Amino acid sequence: MAWLEATALQAQESPAAQAYERLSAAHDQAAAVRKSSDSPQARSQAETILLKALDDARSAPVQALADGSKPLRYRAYDLRSDLFRLYVDEGDKAKALDMMAANLAQDAAPADTVYRSKQAQALLHDEPRYQAMLAGTAAMDRLWHDKAFATPYVAQLSAADRVAGLSLFWSEAKHGFAHFSHVPQLDWDQAYLDFLPQVMAASDTRAYYEVMMRFAPLLHDGHTNIYPPKALRKHFYARPPLRTALVGDKVLVTFVGSDSLEKQGIHAGDEITAIDGIEIKRYAHERVEPYQSSSTPQDLLTRAYGDGLLAGDQDTPVGLSLDDGHGHRRSVTVSRGDYPDRREPAKFEFRTLPGGVAYLSIDDFEADTSSKAFEQHLPQIMQAKALVLDLRHNSGGSDSNAFNILTHLTEAPIPGPRSSELAVSPVARANDELSLEWQPADGSGASYPHQTTPIFRGPVAVLTSAATFSAGEDFVMIFDSLKRGPVIGQTTGGSTGMPMSFALPGGGFARICVKWDRYPDGRDFVGTGIKPGIELAPSVADLRAGRDPVLERARHELLKSL
């Protein structure tokens, strides 16, 4: 959400915002002077501007404001970086190093490369102070981005590597995971001790990741996962081109994506009663659920009876016991391997419903193809009486792609979520005081700026299910906050935030949710989901008959509102 940080201060009329704008103006003015001429006079004029601005930044009133404003603090950092460049160009080693030291006192591992530029190294390479500061930044960077754990895939990881991977995930979660309050019964340290002998006993890398993939789900969060190396994914994630779901109390095939499977007699609406001879719910509970990282009961059921149900080793066929609901029961064995005729449901589907209601399904916000699909059909949408946006299969992606669509539904500012990160104080711990403070994350609450045209002003409904997840839920949250129209369907998955990813030994990787997002007004939905205003779900009979009562109810509600 870089746009949130970029607009955090501009969206506020505050003393901190005024100071930020004042320092930014000086930064821009000095840059313009330097761009206009490389003469000594121009450099002297730019230096005067920057030093005056830096004095302003160091004044007591601005320092007090900066204590509560990260963008303002880093505006002073930028001024010192400007001065560092200027002094390098001037050949003034002492002043350049003073600016570098001042910035490193603020940020010991700067993300910018100004201090390692060719010009800086040419001037300062033989300065011991410069080399010492570079070594210090490298040490800090290595501490948090060390590659010692990021070993490549091997079939047999050492015991040391296996323990290191478990320890790394445990440690990163302990210090960064946002939702320990959602698992009050979990003793995380004890869980680590319980899993230690399991990872040590793992016979090979595949067995090791089978253990690790059961460790992350203990945190009950959909954005906190452990994934096996690419070389092993075919042994964990291969599945036939079938979509399945728990509908009512039955597990149904909802989509068949292969002619060869249809020829085997598998059709949408078939009930799966057993897998490999094991009753279906027992199979899901014992063989699937332990590997699913989920935030809510509905999220777990969606994963266990959806993509996770038939996943496994591509070399191991899966046996299905089927019931078509008309008295015909049969057993088939299907491959998890390659299907040359594999097809997937369309991610974006547009059509016009009776009564002049436009319908667009959007199954993810991973790339800008989602907003482009919306814009492609804007001419038809603008001519429609009403609009249904179907997010029932939206697995998330980028909020920016989601909010780009929202900008076509309102002229009002798009409110951003209230975002928090956990700050642990080592100083407080040293004083035998535990301080776990929730602090606003960068850009928390900032509006998504837009001057988008055209704006669709007709009534809009959004459809949801338990598979509406992450950025899909963020869309629903903001749509709901805008009071733009009804939300119809089932409670969403209840998981959003920002996952932090890192490598694990043997080529796998992990992610941990480190940010807590809520409604702009502070309402929470992580761990519960967003409950629609109109709750409705298709029945087994609906699915077998090809009916969509949720969509029909949305169409009815929209036409009623005209």
Is residue 2's pLDDT more than 70? Answer: no
Tell me, rounded to whole angstroms, the distance of Cα 51 from its chain centroid.
Answer: 40
What are the structure tokens assigned to 51, written together? 């030093």
* 366 & 395 share domain: yes
pLDDT at 8: 45
Q: Are 62 and 56 in contact (CB under 8 A)?
A: yes
| Inside any domain, residue 199 | no
Is residue 4's pLDDT more than 50? Answer: no
* 320 & 358 share domain: no
Q: Which of 203-212, 436-445, 475-484 bottoms out in mean pLDDT, i.e. has the lowest?
A: 436-445
Q: Determine what percent of the chain is predicted with pLDDT higher than 90.
A: 86
pLDDT at 444: 86
Q: What's the average model confidence in pLDDT over 424-429? A: 89
| Inside any domain, residue 376 | yes
Is residue 474 classed as helix, strand or coil in its secondary structure?
A: helix
The pLDDT tens digits of the residues spanning 514-538 come to 999 999 999 999 999 999 999 999 9
> Residue 436 maps to which CATH number?
3.90.226.10
Q: Which of 305-314, 361-370, 438-447 bottoms out in mean pLDDT, i.e. has the lowest?
A: 438-447
Distances in whole angstroms, Cα of residue 281 to Cα of each of 82, 175, 502 = 63, 36, 34
Domain edge (last residue) among 300, 334, 368: 334
User: Which one has a higher pLDDT value, 139 or 225?
Assistant: 225
* 324 & 399 share domain: no
* 403 & 540 share domain: yes
Q: Give one DSSP letter per residue of 295-360, joined into a string.
A: SSHHHHHHHHTTTTTT-B-TTS-EEEEEE-SSS-EEEEEE-SS--TT-----SEEEEEETTTEEEE
| Inside any domain, residue 193 | no
pLDDT at 3: 41
* 320 & 412 share domain: no
472-506 CB burial, b ≥16 within 10 A, e <16: bbbbbbbbbbbebbbbbbbbbbbbbbbbbeebbbb
**Residue 102 — pLDDT band, cuts 50, 70, 90?**
very high
| Inside any domain, residue 231 | no
Q: Which of 182-196, 435-449, 535-549 bottoms out in mean pLDDT, i.e. has the lowest?
A: 435-449
Is residue 497's pLDDT more than 60? Answer: yes
Q: Indicate the number of domains in the chain.
A: 3
Is residue 5's pLDDT more than 70? Answer: no
pLDDT at 435: 84
> Residue 318 maps to which CATH number?
2.30.42.10
Is residue 409 classed as helix, strand or coil in its secondary structure?
A: coil
**Residue 443 — pLDDT band, cuts 50, 70, 90?**
confident
| Inside any domain, residue 9 | yes
Q: Are 131 and 121 in contact (CB under 8 A)?
A: no
Alpha carbons 65 and 54: distance in angstroms, whole number: 15
Domain edge (last residue) among 145, 162, 185: 145
Question: For residue 405, which phi and psi values (nearest 5 degrees)?
Answer: -70, -40
One-letter amino acid at 556 equals H
Q: What's the average model confidence in pLDDT over 388-416? A: 94
Angle value at C-alpha 200, between 194 and 201, nearest 5 degrees: 95
Dihedral (C-alpha) 491, 536, 396, 360: value to the nearest 10 degrees? -160
Bridge partners of residue 421, in order along the sequence: 439
Domain edge (last residue) among 87, 119, 145: 145
Q: What's the average model confidence in pLDDT over 30-37? A: 94
* 402 & 536 share domain: yes
* 453 & 495 share domain: yes
Is residue 292 classed as helix, strand or coil in its secondary structure?
A: coil
Residue-averaged pLDDT of the chain: 93
* 387 & 434 share domain: yes
Alpha carbons 522 and 518: distance in angstroms, whole number: 6
* 391 & 327 share domain: no
The pLDDT tens digits of the residues spanning 274-311 come to 999 999 999 999 999 999 999 999 999 999 999 999 99
Alpha carbons 504 and 510: distance in angstroms, whole number: 7
Alpha carbons 149 and 503: distance in angstroms, whole number: 7
Residue 389: how many CB atoms within 10 A of its CB? 25
Q: Determine what percent of the chain is predicted with pLDDT higher than 70.
A: 98
| Inside any domain, residue 501 | yes
pLDDT at 248: 94
Angle value at C-alpha 220, between 222 and 464, nearest 5 degrees: 45
Is residue 9's pLDDT more than 70? Answer: no
Beta strand 386-390 with 418-424 is unpaired
Is residue 502's pLDDT more than 60? Answer: yes
Is residue 225's pLDDT more than 80? Answer: yes
What are the structure tokens assigned to 84, written together? 């560092």
Alpha carbons 559 and 26: distance in angstroms, whole number: 55
**Residue 87 — pLDDT band, cuts 50, 70, 90?**
very high
pLDDT at 367: 87
Question: For residue 245, which phi and psi values (nearest 5 degrees)?
Answer: -160, 155
Structural domain harbouring 288: 236-334
Report the predicted TM-score, pTM, of the whole model to 2 decimal places.
0.90
* 451 & 514 share domain: yes
| Inside any domain, residue 342 | no
* 398 & 480 share domain: yes
Alpha carbons 369 and 192: distance in angstroms, whole number: 41
How buried is 86 (Cβ within 10 angstroms: 0-12 exposed, 13-18 middle, 19+ buried)? Answer: buried
Show the DSSP H helices in 37-69 as ranges: 40-58, 60-66
Q: Please, what's the largest Cα pairwise distance for the chain?
A: 92
| Inside any domain, residue 10 | yes
* 442 & 502 share domain: yes
The pLDDT tens digits of the residues spanning 43-62 come to 999 999 999 999 999 999 99
- Give the H or E element holding residue 169: helix 159-176
pLDDT at 13: 65
